[in-house]
Structure 1
Amino acid sequence: MKPEIHPTYATATVSCACGNTFQTRSTIAEIHTDICAACHPFFTGKQKLIDTAGRVERFRQKYGKATA
């Protein structure tokens, strides 16, 4: 390998939108995420709808049951 071409690999702090933080190693000092293992539905067993630009609401209006 060529010397002095690789970035520094140091400890990084990962912050999730749910408030969870943990330490890992990366070339970036701070990492911000929307979903982590503490709040992801696969790991928690709870379903969580993440509405991106109203997509869930548009789907419910288009395909949802008509209310009487």
Structure 2
Amino acid sequence: MKNEIHPDYHDIKVIMTDGSEFTTRSTFGKPGDVMRLDIDPKSHPAWTGVQRASSRGGRISKFNQKFGSFGLKSND
């Protein structure tokens, strides 16, 4: 490895959304800095499995409204 091309790697404190904290090594900030998380695995729907289903008229519903019956014929 070449010398002096890598960022400083030091200890920081990470505070999760529920207030729990841990120490890790990172290139973030300066030694001893604190990183407060807005989203983490304890609160984000991708990890918790709790998701909100909302119908806001997204692309699929707009497509279905515009082209819903286009080219469909029954073969009775």
**TM class, shorter-chain normalised?**
0.3 to 0.5
- Rg: which structure is higher? 2
Higher strand fraction (1 or 2): 1
Query: Taking structure 1 as the reference length, what is the TM-score of the superposition?
Result: 0.48
